[in-house]
Amino acid sequence: MTATWREEAEQLCAARPRHVLFLCVANSARSQMAEGIARSLAPASVKVSSAGSQPSRLNPIAVKAMAEVGIDITSQVSKSVEDIPPAEVDTVITLCAEEVCPVWLGKATRLHWGLPDPAQAGTNEAERLQAFRDVRDELRRRLAVVFRQPDVDAIRYGPAGADDLGAIRALLERLHLPAQDVGGPRPIFLVARARDELVGCVGLERYGEDALLRSLAVAPRLQGAGLGKALYAQALAEAAQSGTRALYLLTTTADRFFARAGFTKIERASVPAAVTGSEEFRSLCPASAVCMVKHLK
């Protein structure tokens, strides 16, 4: 019976690899994103590389998709598999689905995680970007198992204090989320802490019986570990306890996450005037952001 990707990832985690190499044909999208994600998660002692059998160039949509989750891969370049010293590599993960992946002749643990090439998906820019996000998020999910963070099981959740505002603002800015009004009178923040480090946050703005959910953010090294779901659950409980009737939000990247949580897409014209008068609606989020609602009662 073939092992599942999770079983393979857990086995690799236990093996503690020293040099992980990601391979695909062009080394422009999947393997580049995998390299960036692994670098953000792996201990400093682990070397991470990527390469291809027909290297081309770093895909700019991959750069954009990675920047959305706070990972900068602009310094990475496409490389040939022949340029990687085989004696240094102890783990090879191939990512091709439609093509024949590069052959690795060195001695190493080999895993194959076939993922669709996002560069070949979609008929317009929005569809292509979404395809890159899908592959990015799947890689994050798998690599979070390989490079499990030691403090995941020690996360504490609670209300933010005044001394947390600077860390909240820095986290939102790193993830390219609106942060200009952090510290203002309206948003109430809940945070996640790993020891003394603020690693996640979510905001609520109340407007009578309605509320705006905003600024759901998780530190890149812990993305894929369930913190986003946990923070959302904290915010939902807080909203329900305060008697909130409906929870609204705007998102440019996470509409499918919130759809799975029971939110539905709506037109902005159907949102109560008090909510649309918020800074989030008026100026902080672009007009292209998806508007969603979840009715709590």
Work out the angle at residue 134's Cα, subtended by the Cα atoms of residues 132 and 140, and round it to the nearest 5 degrees. 100
Is position 291 annotated as part of the catalytic site?
Answer: no
21 near 93, Cβ under 8 Å?
A: yes
H/E stretch holding 92 reads strand 91-94
Is position 96 annotated as part of the catalytic site?
Answer: yes
Cross-strand bridge partners of residue 247 = 211, 294
Query: Which position among 13, 24, 285, 291 bears the catalytic label?
Result: 24
Is position 24 annotated as part of the catalytic site?
Answer: yes
Give the span between the Cα atoms of 45 and 224, in whole angstroms.
Answer: 22
Query: Which position among 13, 101, 201, 285 bears the catalytic label?
Result: 101
Give the span between the Cα atoms of 120 and 25, in whole angstroms.
Answer: 13
- Taking the CA atoms of residue 28, residue 34, residue 35 and residue 37 in that order, the dihedral angle to the nearest 10 degrees is 130
- Taking the CA atoms of residue 11, residue 12, residue 17 and residue 22 in that order, the dihedral angle to the nearest 10 degrees is 160
235 near 204, Cβ under 8 Å?
A: yes
182 near 172, Cβ under 8 Å?
A: yes
Pair of tokens at residue 9 = 């990832």
Query: Which position among 96, 201, 285, 291 bears the catalytic label?
Result: 96
Q: Catalogue the active-site residues.
A: 24, 96, 101
